[in-house]
Amino acid sequence: GVGCLLLFFAGNVPVFAAGNVDTSQITNGFDAIYQVIAAIVSSIGSIFLLWGLFEWAQSLNAQDGGAQSIAFKRIGSGLIATLAPQIIMVIRTGLPS
């Protein structure tokens, strides 16, 4: 009850932004976190890519077409996950002209 009442009154409090604020500390922190997450995603993508390649090589000896299909899906997902950080950087900065 009291929490809802406080949220009701807190929504009506005006907030004024400061003029020239240096946001480099915040953006640098987010960039560092992004680089760590991008490295993890790229590493996992490389693992999926290798796993898919080994699975595809094994499926060449089998008569099952489903195994090859699964291997190709894993190779595709590994490629996408490996290249995802680079794709995101191209989207963020734009293509070079």
Query: In this structure, are residues 41 and 80 in contact, taking their beta carbons and an 8 Å threshold?
Result: no
pLDDT the model gives residue 91: 84
Token digits of residue 89: 């950087």
pLDDT per position as a tens digit, 5-37: 666 666 666 666 667 777 787 788 888 898 999
pLDDT per position as a tens digit, 43-55: 999 999 999 999 9
Query: In this structure, are residues 51 and 78 in contact, taking their beta carbons and an 8 Å threshold?
Result: yes
pLDDT per position as a tens digit, 57-92: 999 888 888 888 999 999 999 999 999 988 888 888
pLDDT the model gives residue 62: 83
Tracing tokens 């191209």 back to the chain, one arrives at 90
